[in-house]
Amino acid sequence: MSLVVDIRKSFPGFELNVGFEAGDETLGLLGASGCGKSLTLRCIAGLEKPDEGRIVVAGTTFFDSEKGVNLTAQQRKTALLFQNYMLFPNLTVAQNIAAGIPRGTSKSEAHSIVAHQLKRFGLEGFGKRYPVRLSGGQQQRVALARMLAAQPAVLMLDEPFSALDSHLKSALEQDLLDLFDSFEGTILYVSHDIDESFRFCDRIAVIDQGGLKELADTTSILNHPTSYATLRVSGVKNISAARKVGTHQVEALDWGITLNTDEEVPNDASFLGVRASYIGVADDSRAGASRAPSGQERNNFEAVIQRVIDSRFERTVVLRVGKDVTQPLLWRFNKVDHDPGFSLERGRLIHIHISPSRIHVVSR
């Protein structure tokens, strides 16, 4: 493996305890703000010192508490892109890129590296400009060029699009995908956005409250989550406390209903999740694209429409199901697929369907 991380670090009220391995791939660190994602990157880069553990990159030990090894940030062959890019305001674009080049590199080789990175990121003609004269997207390209000029063994990006508008973000995503395809080594990509992680990453490590809860390929994270934390960060909007009723039956305690499942329910089931887009109507009114097959009766429930929320392309319907419920269900579908003849009037009683194959039951 190109990267081995097994570290622990304690703060008052918080403890980081993560362990994972990664090869020549893009590994996403996914989790809510403050869960320990950025701290993990800082420990790898040498900006924070773990209390104990081990960090090995491309066969070189960066940190080993038992052996007393702790390389400085300058000695570690890593590159970390911060959210604010951390460019040197008093240096030109070319000088910023050159700042990442390893010591001992000849002037001619350094000049060649800078020229290559300027061309690679479409910055030709910008070499003599200062960061203040660049757009946010151009500043990010300079930061990426500086990272690659360092010839790192591991590339780390900490929510690189958080400061960009949606149009610029879309354009720069293509640059980043091209970069990832050409980079040979481990890439760590920090995000709290499941869609962003899915586009960029081969595998995803779910971090929650300082601990690693799950590590799997992107498809498994989306379709077969195994923890409550993964349900939340992977975009499951409907989550309920759960209790096993039968081999293929589970009670959703917060919704007051019992659901049939295709997969066997674990004995220690504690939560279940249903994506908002997986709910459909149980009749033939064609209110949404994911309507239930005709004649199917399992997991059909009465629901009362409480509210309708519109976004640009989607519609979310807030539903109340069961008796004495503590939280509603969210049903989401594409506006284009909605039958305009199907009323979504507040207070209307409708019948919904939840497919037994679309229910995620977790034990932790």
3-state SS of 246-314?
ECCEEEECCCCEEEECCCCCCCCCCEEEECHHHEEECCCCCCCCCCCCCCCCCCEEEEEEEEEEECCCE
Range in 140-149, 175-184, 329-338 the model is least confident about: 175-184
Tell me the helix, strand and coil percentages in the chain, rounded to 5. 25, 35, 40
Which among 43, 119, 123, 111 has a CA at the least distance from the CA of 87?
A: 123
State how far the Cα of 17 lies from the Cα of 40, in Å rounded to an integer. 9
3-state secondary structure 1-18: CCEEEEEEEEECCEEEEE
State how far the Cα of 84 lies from the Cα of 298, in Å rounded to an integer. 51
Mean per-residue pLDDT of the chain: 89
Which among 29, 117, 26, 131 has a CA at the least distance from the CA of 85?
A: 131
| Structural domains of the chain sorted by starting position, each given as residue range(s) with its CATH number in brackets | 3-225 (3.40.50.300), 236-362 (2.40.50.100)
Beta bridge partners of 154: 78, 186
Read off φ and ψ for residue 188, nearest 5 degrees: -105, 125
Query: Is a pLDDT exceeding 60 seen at residue 80?
Result: yes
State residue 28's pLDDT score.
96
- Helices 136-149 and 166-182 cross at an angle (nearest 10°) of 10
State residue 135's pLDDT score.
85
61 falls in which pLDDT band (50, 70, 90)? very high
Burial of 21 (0-12, 13-18, 19+ CB in 10 A): middle
Which among 94, 184, 189 has a CA at the least distance from the CA of 142?
A: 94
State how far the Cα of 279 lies from the Cα of 333, in Å rounded to an integer. 9
Q: What is the CA radius of gyration of the chain?
A: 25
For the stretch 278-324, pLDDT in tens is 998 886 444 444 444 443 468 999 999 999 999 989 999 999 997 77
Here the tokens at position 172 are 């720069």
* DSSP three-state, residue 184: coil
State residue 164's pLDDT score.
64
For 131, half-sphere exposure in the C-beta direction (CA atoms, 13 angstrom radius) is 18
**Which helix (H) or strand (E) segment is 175 a member of?**
helix 166-182
Read off φ and ψ for residue 108, nearest 5 degrees: -65, -40
Here the tokens at position 297 are 């009766």
State residue 258's pLDDT score.
94
Report pTM. 0.85
Q: What's 67's DSSP letter? A: T
298 close to 246: Cβ distance less than 8 angstroms: no
Q: What is the mean pLDDT of residues 218-232?
A: 94
